[in-house]
Every structure is written in C-alpha cells, then in structure tokens.
Amino acid sequence: MDDLEHHRLNRRRMLAVTGGLAGLVTLGGVSPAQAGETTGQGPGGKSRDWLPGDHHIHSEFSVGYDESTSPPTPIIAGDAIYPIATNATNAERFGLRWMVSTDHGGPNHSKLNAEQAYPSLLDSRRKVPGVLQFYGMEFDTPAADHSSLIIPKVADERDILFSLESRFAKRDAFPSDPVRDTEPKMLEALRAMRALRDRPVLFANHPARSATGLGVYGQDTPAEFRAWNDTAPEVSVGFEGAPGHQAGTLNRDGSLDPNGERGGYGNHPTMGGFDQMTARLGGLWDSLLGEGRRWWITSTSDSHVHYTDGGSDFWPGEYSKTYVHATADYADILDGLRNGRIFVTTGDLIDRLDLTVSRAGRGDGGPNQAAVGESLLLRGRDDRAAEVEVRIRVPKTPNAHGDRPVPRRIDIIGGMITGPVATPTVDTNPTTTVLARFDESNWRREGDWIVVRHSIDVPGAMYVRVRGTSTTELEPEPDAHGADPWADLWFYSNPVFIRR
C-alpha cells in the first residue's frame, strides 16, 4: 500500500469513528473560530483590522542557471529581477502591510536562499519597517506545480526553510532525484511541516494554470489537494483564487496587447481574472467546502518583472490584494492566513468586507454570530434560521490605474456540507447556489458602507460566502486574449460555516 492509499484508509477510519459528517466538519482539530467563538481581537486583546498583503513575490534570488557547469551556476536576477527591498518599497507604496518573499528554486537553491536571499530579506526589513516581511519560497512542489510556503517569523526561520527546501523541493537535488517529484514525497514533506513546533502555511499557486480545459486539470488535481489537506490540515490550507501575472495583457505603455493572456493561463483562461477552481460556481472550491474543509483562497501578484519593464506583472498590491483580519503582528497575520480570516479583491474595488452570519434574532456577537473563517453553531431542532449581513467599503481614493471603480453587484452564495466525496477526483458541489443578488436598487448605504442583509433557512450543515463585481456578468466569463484587467474586477470572501 502506497503513502496516498494508506492515508485515504486512515481518513475513512477516522470518519467512521467520529461519525461521518460531524467528524469531517471538524477535520484537523477545532480552533476557537471553528467552534463558533468570534475572533475580533488578537493577541493581548488588541483589535484586529483588515490588513492587505501579498504572499507570492519573487526577487532577484529567483535565479536563472548556467547549465554549462556542474553543478549549474545560479545567475542572480536571471528570472525575476528586483531586490527584495525594491519589492517591499513598492508594496508599501501600494498600501500593503505585509508580504512574503517567495523565490522559486533549482539545483542547490536552498544554499543560495540561506546564504544570500535571507540576509537580503533582513536588510529589507530594516529598510522598509512599515511592511511586515515573511521569509518563504515558491516551493517546487513534488508531483505538482508551485506553492507558496510561508515560514513563521521565529529565530530559526532560516534553518526551517533550508531544511524543508533542501530535503523536499523537487528541483533542489543535484544530481536530480526522480523520487523528489512524487506524491509520496509531497506527503512526507507535509508530515515534516506538520511536526514542526512552528508550522508553516502552504497555498497552492496558480492551481489550474496547466489545465487544458474546464475541469480538465494538469499538474494540480483535486485528489492531491484533498490528500495534502488530510495529511496536514493546519499547513496545506488553500490555493490562489486569483493568480498573478494579471498584467499579461498590457504593453509597456499600458496599452492592451491583443495576444496577451491574464495570469499566463494559455491553455484554459482565467475567469474574471480568477482561477477556474475558484471562479466556477459549484466547482472545485465549493466541492472542498462541501466536505467541511477549511480551504481558503487568496490573490497575489506573482511579481517577477513589472509590465513597464517588459514583464507581465504588477507590483505587489498594485492590482491584487489579500486582506487578512489580524493585528499588525507576524504571528497573528499567519494565524489569519491559516484560519481563513481573508477576503480578496482586484483593482481596489473594495477595501473592507465584513461577512457575518447570526442566529436569527440574535446578532449580538459571541456564540450567536460568526465571521469569515469561523463557524456558527445552531442549537436545537427548531433553530433553523440564520441572518447574513454583508458590509463592504469602497476606497475613497483612485486605484493604481487612476480609476474609481464601484461594485455593481453583491452575491451571497451558499452550499451544503454533505460529507466526504465518493472519490477524491470529484470537483463539483451540486448544492451550491446564489442565495441572493443585490445591486444599488436593493442595497443600503450606511455612511461609507454598502450593506445587505438576507435571511436563510438552514436545513443542515452548510457554508456561506460572498463575491462581487464591477461588471454586469452574472457569472465570471472566460477572459479573452487582450482583455483589460482594470475593466473586470471582482472580490471574494472566504466562507462562514454553519453547523447543526
């Protein structure tokens, strides 16, 4: 029996012991948020706020290689070109409060990362103290595409990443080792991460970039994500909802390139700038949530080379932002990423999103109310109603393109949590639906906020999430070549879970 099959057998045994759905809903242990406790305060009683950031940023230490030598010689700035401090300076310019430096690897890159990239990160932290800067890498994921590996800011952060990259990144070994590029090796890596005292967080990057059609996946598959999350549910916690390279349709002067592709998705396009695994209503993301999984989405720049320098990228924060509800503290931001206190937006369509679900008539906080990433417990046979409130705020200043975009619609989306799927390749949740749509004709303005409320019947365990758009599209359409990223903006919340 291989590692993956052994893992699936253990999972089936666990579900049998814990009672099917009830066990699945609490898969990976129950945090205070998952138990229904609200988390408006961070460590030390400090109030949390929505802090924008980016967990997928490349520097000059995403190198090229001179293959004529043995081992290959790294070429600094051979792929991405900017120093870490340049990235941080621009992140601050576009309003980010945190970022992760995530250079991808290659032969013996772990050594270069520890000896050169890490001192550069320390220098950047000194030069740009207004941006909290995590150490990490774009993990060369065994048997898959890339992932953002985010290391906690602790005294031995350099040693943690060196150990993980040198032992598990599929391209780090020289001579190359075919075993490195296998699913058992990835599960071994996740077990090693799970066993650490200071556990990292891992998000799959551009998960459907290699897909050849809608639901025809490439390097990243539904079965892999389930196996990863089962193996290390507090480490492998989600994927990029909106990939980077969103300036791929822009020329150096900002004009549209009719042959350009958003996100570099050349096989099957993004949809409203979002990966099909997120954008398709009732698709893979909803399938994972329908199992009760804590599986979150983010939005990043994947910055290598800015479009004005001939690349396909925006600066960190210039176009995409991942907002985390946290205090301005490394540990609490990482906790927010781990536990899904996240919403994402493109083009600065909004800068605040509060989604709460309350027991009907009891929206007074505490155990009667849950926010993004949390769970609400409805008690009793007759406790079947809940009230959903969405509050969004539109920025008061123009975005990086000089526009003042406005949301034209807000959708409240829900789906049932029906337990484990029959096979790990399943990528749909047929119970997912748009519960309500709102526009300026039926939402309310409260000062700077747009507010909508909707009552829902809760026949069983379910989740609720929110999206919105600057367009008139009822569902995000596939992005044509040459599409203007600034004219097609969306925001998505992560879910609130409701338990019965």
Domain residues for 419?
3-499
The string of DSSP codes covering 357-423 is: EEETT--SSGGGEEETT-EEEPPSTT--EEEEEEEEE--SS--TTS------EEEEEEEE---S-SS
Per-residue confidence (pLDDT) for residue 23, from 0 to 100: 33
CATH code for position 73: 3.20.20.140
Tell me how long the chain is: 500
Per-residue confidence (pLDDT) for residue 45, from 0 to 100: 83
pLDDT digits (tens, 9 = 90+) for 331-382: 999 999 999 999 999 999 999 999 999 998 766 667 899 999 999 999 877 6
Amino acid identity for residue 73 in this structure: T
Query: How many domains is the chain partitioned into structurally?
Result: 1
**pLDDT at residue 18 above 80?**
no
Per-residue confidence (pLDDT) for residue 379, from 0 to 100: 81
Q: How confident is the model at residue 216 (pLDDT cuts 50, 70, 90)?
A: very high
Per-residue confidence (pLDDT) for residue 171, from 0 to 100: 97
Q: Cα separations (Å) of 93 from 83, 86, 318?
A: 16, 11, 9
Q: What is the C-alpha to C-alpha distance for residues 483 and 80, in angstroms, rounded to an integer?
A: 24
Per-residue confidence (pLDDT) for residue 10, from 0 to 100: 41
Asked whether the beta carbons of 411 and 474 are under 8 A apart, the reply is no
Continuous segment of H or E residues that includes residue 149: strand 146-151
In this structure, what is the dihedral angle of CA atoms 413, 419, 421, 427, given to the nearest 10 degrees?
10
Q: What is the C-alpha to C-alpha distance for residues 470 and 301, in angstroms, rounded to an integer?
A: 20
Asked whether the beta carbons of 212 and 265 are under 8 A apart, the reply is no
- By C-alpha distance, which of 334, 347, 248 is closest to 296? 334
Per-residue confidence (pLDDT) for residue 43, from 0 to 100: 83
Please give the mean pLDDT across all residues of the chain: 92
Asked whether the beta carbons of 414 and 286 are under 8 A apart, the reply is no
pLDDT digits (tens, 9 = 90+) for 58-86: 999 999 999 999 999 999 999 999 999 99
Q: How confident is the model at residue 24 (pLDDT cuts 50, 70, 90)?
A: very low
pTM listed for this prediction = 0.92
